[in-house]
Structure 1
């Protein structure tokens, strides 16, 4: 019988972000006959911790500072006799690689790169520094083919060291959660009116380009008076975006609903999901929206959104920052008859299943086995 591989997953905290959600899906879906997952975080409480399977060994380092985590992480790697140390996001990958080196344990690093970054000389220089460390890792995981191209170009990592594995989407859990009624009473009122409700979800930061979305919605609202826009998420631009909505005369029709642990019930009750991002490494929220059967409009935010929606095969797409195109695409879907919308919903769910968590977990498992067996 093959000895089980010990996979140590390292992340800052099991918080509300996409990286934590990805780790949660991989850890929970791993074949326990072949692997023993160990999760290590800094000393924080994260909202996804309660969703971990009870058999997952969960270790919190006694520090809240990332830079202070190298030595304690190295001790855990050595003590747990990890075969592989898996991490995601450049800063955490750096700590994971340095911790593994210090452990002198023989564990191999697998780093996951989610972002599509670079472009300025300063950013490109920083990515080359990350690349120096990435070249010490056994494997690099890109969550889309576009991200892989970026890692090769800007991180200077050889293509043969990089595997493309899409984000896992827990379709059944999403479809269970979307049918619950745990929406706050004041939020329910938004969805119970006769109005058409558009929804988006993401941090209120520059990259998500809510400015373009709000301007496009304001124009749409002049043509379809019975529309509302619900925005899920928190961030530094909240007050600025609220002011923009007010200035455009739609302050009473744009609803800022904050972070929601179960966004899927909101997606399910909305008429349309809209993503206005400037760039997306994968566009995980698009795949989740598809899983709820909600029609989708997205910008051609490279590289991920284009891959998730397959160049518009599974949702309407427009150019980044083009509020007129975004308005027209939203109007097109909101004007469709119910039969066409049902067909779109069915097709979207089929697409979401191509990123099914169990399928993606299997791809990670095979990569872990090959990496573990490969000599450096």
Structure 2
């Protein structure tokens, strides 16, 4: 198809799964001949972006420069974004990722905007007190009213309907994964010479490291836990409180997590909520089995067929530990078809069809 001009807007490039997915979507468009510009609301780049050939432009140099101004701040960001966009040939389509960016893109004047949803808002609201949940729901109903949305899992569309968000249209398009690159990077050597299970999630409340550590403490297997997350003081404290200092290793954020995931005996996710958890797909790509909570949304859409056995209820360390022990005792086979639907070319076909239908 004829080359299109595509603007992608995201809050920042912090080291989370959603931001990695944004880079992958941008790269998929770029590799297929489109003109891509990635705009960051805030100039935060945890991921290495030197190898990307499309422009990456930050609206501000400092974190949260105008955030404290609320709606006025959103308006200022909008004007900066519109000014930056005018430096390029007119964009055919705009994709917005994550709520902070969505608040800005909501205000720009463009006839063809899509809002890509990366997390379960319903699960988020369920964890808030009534007052905070009401305020957040009001924001989400405003942001996505009469807008075109793309969700990264099927269950998210149901969430929007349940929450009474009156979107214009909804598409489900999974995040793209470069399967060959992930497997290649997974083959790189590592410095660890012991058996371990692995967690590769940022230290956030919804990731439930408390549940993971409680489960790890009562495991029957004598094995170490490697955590690919920054050594947050609260995480270190949680490890010490459980007397696990000699069994838990925090390696911090890794540009190449795949080599550690591939060499793990098992990957474990204990989250209360997700979107479509990248780390589960990445683990299956390098043939490392996964035990995950059956949280909204995503794990149940990835761990299908025989792998669904390794889903466990949320907030239950005892059951999680039992399932980890079972998985460590089994030779779990991961078939290629499980991950092929997430391959970047399969996902790009859906993105290209979206471009054809809307431009």
Residue 289 of structure 1 pairs with residue 283 of structure 2: yes
Gap regions ≥5 residues in structure 2: 67-72
CA distance in 1, matches of 2:22, 2:230: 22
Residue 364 of structure 1 pairs with residue 358 of structure 2: no
Which residue pairs with 2:230 in the alignment? 234
Which residue pairs with 1:279 in the alignment? 273
Superposed counterparts of 1:209-228, under 5 Å: 209-220=208-219, 223-224=220-221, 226-228=222-224
Superposed counterparts of 1:329-344, under 5 Å: 329-336=323-330, 340-341=331-332, 344=333
Deviations 1:62-110 (A, max 9, x none): 4533634211111233443111111111121110121x22xxxx44211
Aligned with 1:133 (options 143, 152, 155):
143
Which residue pairs with 2:105 in the alignment? 96
Residue 173 of structure 1 pairs with residue 161 of structure 2: no
Which residue pairs with 1:116 in the alignment? 120
Residue 269 of structure 1 pairs with residue 263 of structure 2: yes
2:218–2:321 CA contact under 8 A, matched in 1:
yes
1:114–1:143 CA contact under 8 A, matched in 2:
yes
1:156 is paired with a residue whose SS is: coil
Q: How many equivalent residue pairs?
A: 342
Gap regions ≥5 residues in structure 1: none
Deviations 1:330-373 (A, max 9, x none): 1111112xxx33xx13x2x431221112211221221133222x
1:245–1:251 CA contact under 8 A, matched in 2:
yes
Which residue pairs with 2:59 in the alignment? 61
1:279 is paired with a residue whose SS is: coil
Deviations 1:5-59 (A, max 9, x none): 21101122233222221121111122666632111224625143535532x2333
The alpha-carbon deviation at position 329 of structure 1 amounts to 0.9
CA RMSD of aligned residues (A): 2.3
CA distance in 1, matches of 2:295, 2:305: 11
4+ residue runs over 4 A deviation: 31-34
Using structure 1 for the length normalisation, give the TM-score: 0.83
Residue 299 of structure 1 pairs with residue 286 of structure 2: no
Aligned with 1:70 (options 51, 57, 78):
78
2:304–2:338 CA contact under 8 A, matched in 1:
no
Which residue pairs with 2:338 in the alignment? 351
Deviations 1:298-326 (A, max 9, x none): 11111211111137635611111111111
CA distance in 2, matches of 1:30, 1:17: 21
1:232–1:258 CA contact under 8 A, matched in 2:
yes
Residue 259 of structure 1 pairs with residue 267 of structure 2: no
**CA separation of 1:264/1:51 partners in 2, compared to 1, >3 Å: closer, same or farther?**
farther
CA distance in 2, matches of 1:260, 1:315: 29
1:298–1:315 CA contact under 8 A, matched in 2:
no
1:82–1:107 CA contact under 8 A, matched in 2:
no
